[in-house]
Structure 1
Amino acid sequence: MSNGKDTATLYKEYVQALQEVADIKYAVAVLQWDQETYMPAGGADKRGRQIATLSEIAHDRFTSPAIGDLLAELGRRHDLTGEQRKNIELSLYDYSQQTRLPSAFVRQMSETVSRSFHNWIEARKANDFHIFRDVLGELVELKKQEAELLGYTGHPYNALLNQYERGATTDLLDNIFGKLQPELKAILDQLGTASQVDDSLVKQHFPASEQWEFGMDLLGKMGYDFNHGRQDRAEHPFTINFCSKDVRITTRIDEHDLGNMTWSTIHELGHALYEQGLPDEQYGLPLGEYASLSIHESQSRLWENNVGRSIYWCRHFLPLLQRYFPAQLGNATPETLYRAINKVSPSLIRTEADELTYHFHVIIRYELEKALINSDISVKDIPAFWNEHYRLYLGIAVPDDRQGCLQDVHWSHGSFGYFPTYSLGSLYAAQFYAFAGKDIPNLDYQLEGGQFATLKDWLRKKIHTHGRMYTSEELCREICGEGLNIQYFMQYAYAKYRYIYSL
């Protein structure tokens, strides 16, 4: 097994093996990035084959008996450093998970996802869920198989949740959402008695070219490293990385809504700053990867909302906005902009939702996915389930599929179990931001002055540099001295929206 090799030699072999697997996976990621940005539609079939082949190769390499033997031997060694031991521990866990998935299954999933993405694009263009329905049905059946292959305790959805948020269960989420919903309803009821905020300021005509230029300017000023990243346009904004030195984001532009581009760009910036802050020396190893999806979302939501929707952000960026859009925003004040970008009102589109009603968008998707994976509903029932729950939870009628169940890219990627991390991320974000404010003197006024580097450095030190060293809750306890506590979010929300709505 070890052939008498010392630990240093074995660990070096481990690093080389995992980095070669990472090379293949990131080659797949480049193909996926191209697929969602520049690839001509006619290349879809062969691109799906290419991605599937490389995904299968990466899976076969990582789950090979040789890797298993190497990990087992290193797991028995007592002379590893703390970081080395954590890498081996996490790789053993990953190996135990991945060896449960046959190579043929991995290839089938990859091929189905590629077809699914292009069907989703066509369905959105045609505004017709039926175009997406059959391939989505195939994906759902594959995700059910995946849950059985991975194994679970309790609800089958737990197996899928665990891939994005290790240790997450439906019981845990039901408990969190059960506490969050009545608190949100209470504040929404209060806001409902106040005069509604006017958001017409950001709903004027903003030419796409000027929006794009402003977005690029915004990214640079808020700390995005263009030497190790770029931005492009896509149907649905996303962040993708090929290493910490090559992290790419996308955005989309609505000429009649400045907020669509601006805050989706800031959201993706938060993801990108996390990826750019991961330790490069751990490339391909667990400690070079993000902690969890909820921690990833905490970074995007912190920059998007706690920073990007603050009065301090408005004070700093309004002069820049007025240079790009003098006719539309020339008479605006930081206060009018602040109110406009924080209007609370039930809406159709999750990515454009305010901070409070946003969680209901997530809860609807969580309940729908949970029912699908448990076979309580079928894929053909999705539009009806969706529309009914938007009526029940948000009191709005869904006019069509594009603004309803076709709005998110996640299902076309096979990402079932992802959506709950958005709400968890918002809750972690508020908690982390509260503690950043305790550690950084005059944080709000630093942001007002455009000094974003201090907060970025704090996040690098507290979160980014650790990779997967800690679980979400462990990391939260390291930073805050306690686990996730929704009261940080509620206190932030009450203070902010009582002021905005003059309660």
Structure 2
Amino acid sequence: MSSAELYAAYKTKMQKIADVKYASAVLQWDQETYLPPKGNDFRGRQLATLSEMAHELFTTEAMGALLQELNSKEDLSASEKRNVQLSLEDYTRNVKLSSDFVRKMSEAVNTAYHAWVKARTNNSFATFQRPLHNLIALKKQEADLLGYEQHAYNALMNDYDKGLTVATVDGIFNHLKPQLSVLLNKIKNKPQVDNSFLHQHFDKDAQWKFGIELLKKIGFDFEAGRQDLSVHPFTTSFNNYDVRVTTRVDENDFGNMTWSCIHEGGHALYEQGLPAAEYGLPLSEYCSLSIHESQSRLWENCIGRGLPFWQHNLKQLQTFFPGQCNQLTAEQFYKGINKVQPSLIRTEADELTYHFHVMIRYEIEKMLIEGTISTKDIPAYWNEHYQSYLGVTVPEDAKGCLQDIHWSHGSFGYFATYSLGSIIAAQLYAAIEKENASVNKEIEAGSTATVLNWLRKNIHQYGREFTSEQLCKKATGEALNSTYFIDYATKKYTAIYGL
């Protein structure tokens, strides 16, 4: 067969596998939005079957042989060659896991997810502890099967950001933590800004409508996506023309819905910007979760918590909630939404204390995988470190170690990407401002098109062509540098608090 014929066969196989995976993703989305409680068990079976099918289709000997043969061809285009290389890497990794193991993992995740939902409802970690213990045992086994150097956790982090290691993350956190602590201590000694306006009564339906408007403002295409409600806000994609976001609404906390909409909208814009022509192939997939998180944090914080954005959008907010917001100036609103104060909930945390939330989860995960703590130790460790890192007392499990959905999904190795995403976001936004001197004036006038177009050109179009480090360097001219985040945060909060 010619190279063209071989590549066509490869593409057909990969797109068939993608069809199965995305069918599974639809069921997972439904599980977290509309699934009736009695459907849990059969949904778990359906998801396990589809996961097993996708794995079996991808790890056949015939697929391996096809990838090896294609990889040896010299007459493929650059994008074709890169797709094959990445698929071969994925194949080599996935073939280490049996279909039976993949099914067991899917079943364990389904059990853990529903146990987590019940545990949150009952405010009792004990309900979640045993299913989580069983899931972690499988994650340890997965790390051993995949293989790793130095630390088992490296094998799991690699799933979310290729090449990311404990040594790298430890180095970044060790650099970030003392500088954040200095900035936080300076803020503690200054008069606190007022954000009480966020905690009035805001009608649920009106919040929902305003959230839809915010998504439109940043460029979310509702012809290629939708928003729904869920316990924990998330984004999922079935292709770049069908991207789903969710939010949650608290009638006594306007910030809960607002910035989860913008945050998830940032994720969704990335998914909608990936190349449709590469459907089912690596170049249609996101680079890494660190890069993915950089997209959501850039929109949520650099723009959505920026003064220019609200100099334009506050007027519309006041039409939705005249009684609550008519007396506010854009400057007052801006300061209030950027209030820095240690808190319990990661998704509601300010930009500075947020990283301590991530560090605590990262430390727990490392120790769970290396076996220095067990699942029964999680609440005590969590509560102790929220006190020592943030000075807050955890009153109950629902506001403590049960607040995140990630462990119930088996997503171990994920949390560090949240902090990395914030760091990358600051570096990307500095590059945007450098290349487009008028960008903040444009945002103040109501247009975020320059930002989205820059991201489409420099991030979205490349899919998985580059690693996070390579893509960051290509987009900004230098490797990941946490100094950009520190400079951004120092400038921003010096102005807000008069440091």
Aligned residue for 2:238, secondary structure, equals: strand
Counterpart of 1:81 (choices 67, 73, 77) is 77
Unmatched 5+ residue regions in structure 1? none
Matched, 1:493 2:489: yes
Does the alignment pair 1:249 with 2:240?
A: no
Distance 1:440 1:288 in 2: 28
1:124 to 120, 132, 143: 120
Q: Please say if 1:6 is aligned against 2:11.
A: no
| Cα separation, 1, equivalents of 2:381 and 2:419 | 21
Matching of residue 184 in structure 1 with residue 180 in structure 2: yes
1:441 Cα deviation (Å)?
A: 3.1
- How does 1:97-496 map onto structure 2 within 5 Å? 97-496=93-492
Q: Distance in 2 between matches of 1:205 and 1:140?
A: 41
Query: 216-225 or 425-434: which moved more?
Result: 216-225
Q: Deviations over 1:472-492 (max 9, x none)?
A: 000111112210111110111
Task: Measure the CA separation in 1 of the matches of 2:124 and 2:206.
Answer: 32
Paired residue for 2:89? 93
Corresponding residue of 1:29: 25
TM-score (norm 2): 0.99
Counterparts of 2:380 and 2:117, CA distance in 1: 21
3-state DSSP of counterpart to 1:247: strand
Which residue number in structure 1 is paired with residue 59 of structure 2? 63
1:46 corresponds in structure 2 to 42
Q: Distance in 2 between matches of 1:100 and 1:367?
A: 27
Instruction: Give the aligned residue type for 1:500.
Output: I
Q: 1 CA distance for matches of 2:451 and 2:372? A: 45
Give the Å deviation of 1:344.
Answer: 0.3
Give the whole-Å Cα distance in 2 for the aligned partners of 1:246 and 1:452.
Answer: 22
Identity among equivalent positions (%) equals 57
In structure 1, what is the Cα distance between the partners aligned to 2:11 and 2:106?
26
CA distance in 2, matches of 1:81, 1:219: 37
Cα distance in 1 for residues equivalent to 2:185 and 2:450? 37
Distance 1:160 1:454 in 2: 36
Q: How far apart, CA to CA, are the structure 1 residues paired with 2:334 and 2:439?
A: 18
Q: How far, CA to CA, are the matches of 1:362 and 1:326 in structure 2?
A: 36
Query: In the TM superposition, what is the alpha-carbon distance from 1:281 to its structure 2 partner?
Result: 0.2
The CA distance in 2 between the partners of 1:160 and 1:168, in whole Å, is 9
Residues 357-409 of structure 1 deviation map (CA, whole Å, 9 limit, x = unaligned): 00000000000000000000000000001001101100111000000000000
The residue identity in structure 2 corresponding to 1:394 is: L
Q: Secondary structure at the match of 1:399?
A: coil
Distance 2:218 2:3 in 1: 43
SS at match of 1:346: coil
Q: Quick one: distance in 2 between partners of 1:501 and 1:304?
A: 20
Aligned to 2:32, the other structure's residue is in SS state helix
- SS of the residue corresponding to residue 143 of structure 2 reads helix
- Cα offsets for 1:291-348 (capped at 9, x unmatched): 0000000000000000000001111110011000000001011011001100001000
Query: 1:266: Cα distance to partner?
Result: 0.3
* Alpha-carbon distance in 1 for matches of 2:190, 2:175: 25
Distance 2:318 2:254 in 1: 13
* Partner Cα separation in structure 2 for residue 222 and residue 6 of structure 1: 45
Distance 1:142 1:440 in 2: 48
Quick one: distance in 2 between partners of 1:466 and 1:450?
28
Q: Which amino acid in 2 is paired with 1:397?
A: T
Of 46-55 and 444-453, more deviation after overlay is shown by 444-453
Letter paired with 2:16: E
Q: For 2:159, what is the secondary structure of its paired residue? A: helix
Q: Offset of 1:440 from its aligned partner?
A: 1.7
Cα RMSD, aligned residues only: 0.6
Query: Per-residue displacement from partner, 1:452-481 (whole Å, max 9, x unpaired)?
Result: 112101100000000001100001111122
C-alpha offsets along residues 145-201 of structure 1, whole Å, 9 cap, x if unaligned?
Answer: 010011000011010001001111111111000000011011111111100111101
Q: Give the 3-state SS of the residue equivalent to 1:441 in structure 2.
A: coil
Deviations 1:10-63 (A, max 9, x none): 000000000000000000000000000001010000000000001100000000
**Distance (whole Å) between structure 2 residues aligned to residue 10 and residue 236 of structure 1:** 43
Write out per-residue CA displacement over residues 119-150 of structure 1, whole angstroms, 9 at most, x where no aligned residue: 11111011110111110111110100010011
1: CA distance between counterparts of 2:356 and 2:164? 19
The whole-number CA distance in structure 2 between the counterparts of 1:375 and 1:386 is: 16
For 2:327 and 2:271, locate their aligned partners in 1 and report how far apart those are by CA, in whole Å: 38
Alignment size in residue pairs: 499
Q: Displaced runs of 4+ in structure 1, greater than 6 A?
A: none
Whole-angstrom CA distance in 1 between matches of 2:443 and 2:415: 30
Q: TM-score, normalised by structure 1?
A: 0.99
Amino acid at match of 1:330: N
Distance 1:461 1:443 in 2: 16
Q: Tell me, what secondary structure is at the counterpart of 1:380?
A: helix
Q: Distance in 1 between matches of 2:217 and 2:490?
A: 29
**Partners of 2:85 and 2:452 in 1: CA distance:** 29
CA distance in 2, matches of 1:450, 1:70: 51
Instruction: Determine helix, strand or coil for the equivalent of 1:402.
Output: helix
State the AA in 2 paired with 1:321: L
